[in-house]
Structure 1
Amino acid sequence: MTTSEEFHPAPIVEETARLLTENYVFPEVAEQLAELLRRRLAEGGYDVDSAEELGRLVTADLQSVNADRHLRLKYHAIQVPPEQGAAALAGMRRDFDASLGGVPKLELLDDGPAVLTLAPTLFPLEWAAEPVGAALTLVSRARALIIDLRANLGGDPETVAFICSHLFDERTHLNTMHWRENERREQSWTLPYVPGPRYGADKPLYILTSSRTFSGAEELTYDLQQLGRAVVVGERTGGGAHPREGWTVHPHLEATIPVGRAVNPVSGTNWEGAGILPDVLCPASEALDRARVLAEKALAEQPPA
């Protein structure tokens, strides 16, 4: 806890407002939010003596206009580096080392389907390519595949494309990012080459979701669902479609600001705010059993090899 003599909310709020107006993907909303933050500051709404409390109050105001859950003043109990994006990477690396590179579980069920759990996030591809690629090589031999994203909170779009590349046979357009900077457009496609055999485009594929499934994990789910490649089973997802950057505005506070928006080539939109509605809606705790029944049925209907 920081004492009131040491803690000064005003420069933190002002810097957050500045970063908003310069970087937020929706400039008009950014202006509204910056004005709101400055008004609340002038009214004494941020007269608190701790970084954690300021982060909570500012985050509530940031999300009050368009409910963008990526837009936050995020509190970090451990002091964060000053470099842009460094706060997220430091925590991510700890999670990577503790989760076998984001592949904490891989199981072959007795009746044929493989279950691949990807959690707690889809880590940056330069880290994740080896563990995720090894797991996808193993499941390439499965008769049916269930990818469990119920505990996955997001991740790297390049890792999304890498995973999808194992699940299609031909180059496939997955997504287009619309960046605020220079109004740039960036398409995401499956890769022409993967380091190992592909699971391919023809065998049954199921994605498990929960209300916690978010951001990059939602992109993976949405891409596969919209392209008709996977059946989604579970709960409606969290609804975060805007990639974000992070700026350290205090040793324990990071302003996380979306700088782009996803546009799917099939739907022409994304899952922001609404989340992804599963094809088979059920409690997350029941999703694996439901997907297993669907996989068994699909395998039983296949002609003999």
Structure 2
Amino acid sequence: MIKNFTVILSLLLVAIITLPACSQHKPSAAENINFLTVVVKTNLKNYFDQNKADELIEKVTEMERKKLFEGVSEEVAAKMITDMLRKETHDKHFNIIAYTIKPQAEAKQTQPQNQQPFTAGITSIKILKNNIGYIKWDACIAGEAAFKKIRSALDSVAGCKQIIFDITENPGGDGASSAFINQFFYESKDYQTLLVKKCTGEANWHQSEVIFNYSQGPKLFNTPLYIITSDKTFSAAEYFAFTAKEMKRATILGKTTAGAGNPGNAMSTYLQNSDTVFWMFTPNCQITTRAGHSLEGVGVKPDVELTSNNWVNETVDYILKQN
């Protein structure tokens, strides 16, 4: 519902705040930035904390009154607003980016000749020494095609004594991907009700976890699980580690994760005839455990801090010492 509203809103903004369609006038940086501030203030109404949203809208207006955007580029203005939003909310999910649209002919020339195969975010699968399975998971991607790839990766390590999930470079994405993985590691379904969510416009908290109950697939319920995290582990990837730690299902190793727990919506829009596109991500939900524990601004702290130059080898050494 909110996503559809954002798309409609984007179209309306383009229609309302642009010059007539017949005009070929190319907007200046100042015109683009003026458009950006209108877009930002409109999208901030989707923020889950409505009182804070009003404060943030006033902050953007104040930046305009102080003429802080005069003489700067669209990219700089976008960063200035992003920095302000993050400072005021401590929410790393807030993000605004300005980028240039390449002409169609140029874009065709710069497209890669060889398209990379779809991996569903799984970039490496290995069997390490002493039959330890290793999966490097670099993006949370959902959908039937992704689930088939993830299932294949899990099948590849199903016979291993222990399994390592390396999510040190995973920036997050679709949380349904971790929900899909979780069903193969938890015999009890209690984990499915661990997290609750409340989004913009909702009066009550409700279950956050997407429910999967596949009847077939590897049963890894008793296989020891180790998850390697870093400060680059972000958003949906953090919840994979967070759930495992809260449920005492895995040992977390590495560094504390980013602490970006509030999901939201992304949108892109631009002013007519402009070659600058603005992309904005606005958090519109909160997620906590039923007991009120949150990773927002805190992250997931590892059980074992890794300090070497090779975290995978250090994790393997740790595992071998436990057995």
Q: What CA distance in whole angstroms lies between the structure 2 residues aligned with 1:72 and 1:284?
A: 32
The residue that corresponds to 1:136 in the other structure is: 154
After TM superposition, the structure 1 = structure 2 runs for residues 258-269 of structure 1, keeping only pairs within 5 Å, are 258-265=283-290, 267-269=291-293
Aligned to 2:220: 199
* Alignment counterpart, residue 66 of structure 1, candidates 89, 92, 95: 89
- 1:86 alignment counterpart: none
| Mapping for residues 1-305 of structure 1, pairs under 5 Å | 4=28, 7-20=31-44, 22-78=45-101, 100-119=119-138, 121-172=139-190, 173=192, 174-187=194-207, 188=209, 191-193=212-214, 195-200=216-221, 202-250=222-270, 251-265=276-290, 267-283=291-307, 285-298=309-322, 300=323
In the TM superposition, residue 38 of structure 1 has moved relative to its aligned partner by 0.7
Structure with the greater alpha carbon radius of gyration: 2
Classify the secondary structure of the residue corresponding to 2:159: coil
Amino acid corresponding to residue 212 of structure 2 in structure 1 = L
The range that moved more, 187-196 or 143-152, is 187-196
Unaligned regions of 5+ residues in structure 2, if any? 1-25, 103-114, 271-275
Cα drift, residue 127 of structure 1: 4.1
Q: Which secondary structure does the structure 1 equivalent of 2:258 belong to? A: coil
State the identity %: 22
Q: CA deviation at 1:3?
A: 7.4
Relative to structure 1, the CA distance from residue 125 to residue 268 in structure 2 (aligned partners, 3 Å threshold; closer, same or farther) is farther
Name the aligned partner's letter for residue 199 of structure 1: L
Superposition RMSD in Å: 2.3
What do the CA deviations read for 1:250-295 (whole angstroms, capped 9, x no partner)?
2521121001011123x52211111111000124744322321232
Task: Quickly say closer, same or farther: Cα 1:118–1:275, change in 2 above 3 A.
Answer: same
Q: Shift of the alpha carbon at 1:15?
A: 2.0
- The question of whether the paired residues in 1 share the 8 Å contact of 2:254 and 2:311 is answered with yes
Q: How far did 1:75 drift?
A: 2.9
Task: Tell me, in whole angstroms, the C-alpha distance in 2 between the residues paired with 1:190 and 1:109.
Answer: 32
User: What is the TM-score of this pair, normalised by structure 2?
Assistant: 0.79
